[in-house]
Chain A
Amino acid sequence: DGGITQSPKYLFRKEGQNVTLSCEQNLNHDAMYWYRQDPGQGLRLIYYSQIVNDFQKGDIAEGYSVSREKKESFPLTVTSAQKNPTAFYLCASSILLAEGGNEQFFGPGTRLTVL
């Protein structure tokens, strides 16, 4: 059963702590993405990766870090430098089309709350 999974579904963090959100896909997609969604807001891009061992910053990368050591996995670390981390985090993946226009497949999301 192919798909993209995120864990945990809910995550609570104390201020000053780093936390890592997991994202795994078995769709054999080259590209993976992390978005953040706040209430009443659209999705905003944090980081994306088109190939293993390479990734690019999105619009709101400050306070976040990622790694892409395996094609299937793209974990996101929310560091203590992120001033307002409470949000709904979505991971997505897609194939790479030379002409672009790739639809994205999203995971179920992780809701992070800072206590």
Chain B
Amino acid sequence: SQKIEQNSEALNIQEGKTATLTCNYTNYSPAYLQWYRQDPGRGPVFLLLIRENEKEKRKERLKVTFDTTLKQSLFHITASQPADSATYLCARTSGQAGTALIFGKGTTLSVSS
């Protein structure tokens, strides 16, 4: 099966530090990886998308990398703030139009002040 795994269920860091979340995939090389943020009781919100031929993508304090050799994506939040506390979901999709996403279980990030 086309699995996608997020290694850590929870990550606790101090304000101002860089949070690094890991997403690994198996059995199938996705054309895209996407990262979403989900707050408790709410729907996920799209953050970043990275293509398999891209090494890195940035958006403000967010950075995502895609390593097809390691079959891994890393998601970084620099200068983290308590407001960054949420669950972050990694999702993969193929290169076909309109195909649904396959999600990991998520990593819950807690940033303490």
Given the known A-B contacts A42-B106, A106-B45, A109-B41, are A99 and B98 also in contact in the complex, defined by CB atoms under 8 Å? no
| Residues from chain A with Cβ under 8 Å of B45 in the complex | 106
Interface size on A (CB < 8 Å)?
32
Interface residues of B in 37-60 (CB under 8 A from A): 41-46, 49, 51
Given the known A-B contacts A43-B89, A105-B46, are A99 and B97 also in contact in the complex, defined by CB atoms under 8 Å? yes
Interface residues of A in 83-102 (CB under 8 A from B): 88, 90, 92, 94, 96-102
Main secondary structure of the interface of B (DSSP, over half): loop
Q: Is B76's CB within 8 Å of the partner chain A?
A: no
Q: Give Cα A100–Cα B49 distance, bound, in whole angstroms.
A: 11
Given the known A-B contacts A40-B105, A41-B105, are A100 and B44 also in contact in the complex, defined by CB atoms under 8 Å? no
Interface residues of A in 5-29 (CB under 8 A from B): none
Check A100 against B106 for contact (C-beta < 8 Å).
no
Question: Which B-chain residue is minimally distant from A4 (CB atoms)?
Answer: B43
Check B100 against A100 for contact (C-beta < 8 Å).
no
Query: Digit string of A43-57 for contact with B (CB within 8 Å is 1, else 0)?
Result: 111001010000000
Check A101 against B105 for contact (C-beta < 8 Å).
no
Question: Which B-chain residue is minimally distant from A91 (CB atoms)?
Answer: B43
Question: Which B-chain residue is minimally distant from A107 (CB atoms)?
Answer: B43
| Residues from chain B with Cβ under 8 Å of A50 in the complex | 97-98
Binding site for A on B (CB under 8 A): 9, 31-32, 34, 41-46, 49, 51, 89, 91, 93-106
